Amino acid sequence: MFSFDHQITRTLHDEHLATISVLERLEGVFRKYGPKKTPDRDNDDITALLGDIINLVECDVKNHFTFEEGKLFPLLSAMGDMPISQILTGEHNVILPLGNLLSEMAKTARADGFSDAAWTAFRQSGVELIERMISHIQKEEMALLPMLEDIVEEDEDAELMMAYSEMR
């Protein structure tokens, strides 16, 4: 595993781990219930997970993507490294709408429970989000964060951390 020395790369790495944790819990629920068994409305574990999904998308994913596109990708561009930024931005453009959809379905399920059709749709969207997000995080962990470790100076790290803290 790569060791991150800068605050900003450690923070983004920690967020990746937190995101993976929520996605693993979601995947566990999908395995437990499968496509044909709809969770009960009064299941506290499901209710908590739905809240975590809403929070993940509304707070973490949106801010994380906005920060990368607004602050980090321009740094890479200035260094002449555009391909990874373009790839990740393209993925953001797919993942965020999918995350927003899953978040809206989670809000509805928290209020009304899951119908069989709603569970099927939620499960399908959730499986796709898990696959896309895990792949995206892997790219960031293997390419973006190590690049940032190489190009970000100490004073820049502090400025980036402050800017990111203000967004959250």
CATH number, domain of 67, equals 1.20.120.520
With a cut of 70, list the residues of the chain below it in pLDDT. 1-2
pLDDT at 41: 76
Q: Tokens 């190489």 identify what position?
A: 150
pLDDT at 48: 94
Q: Is residue 106 part of a domain?
A: yes
> Whose CA is closest to 99, among 54, 134, 35?
54
Q: Is residue 143 part of a domain?
A: yes
Q: Is residue 1 part of a domain?
A: no
pLDDT at 2: 67
Q: Is residue 131 part of a domain?
A: yes
Q: Is residue 2 part of a domain?
A: no
pLDDT at 13: 96
Total domain count for the chain?
A: 1
Q: Is residue 42 part of a domain?
A: yes
pTM of whole model > 0.75?
yes
Where does 42-97 show beta strands of DSSP type E? none
Spatial separation of the C-alpha atoms in residues 80 and 82, rounded to whole Å:
6
The tokens for 49 are 């997970």
Which secondary-structure segment (H or E) carries 18?
helix 7-33
Q: How many CB atoms lie within 10 A of CB 11?
A: 18
Containing domain of residue 15, as a range? Answer: 7-167
pLDDT at 168: 79
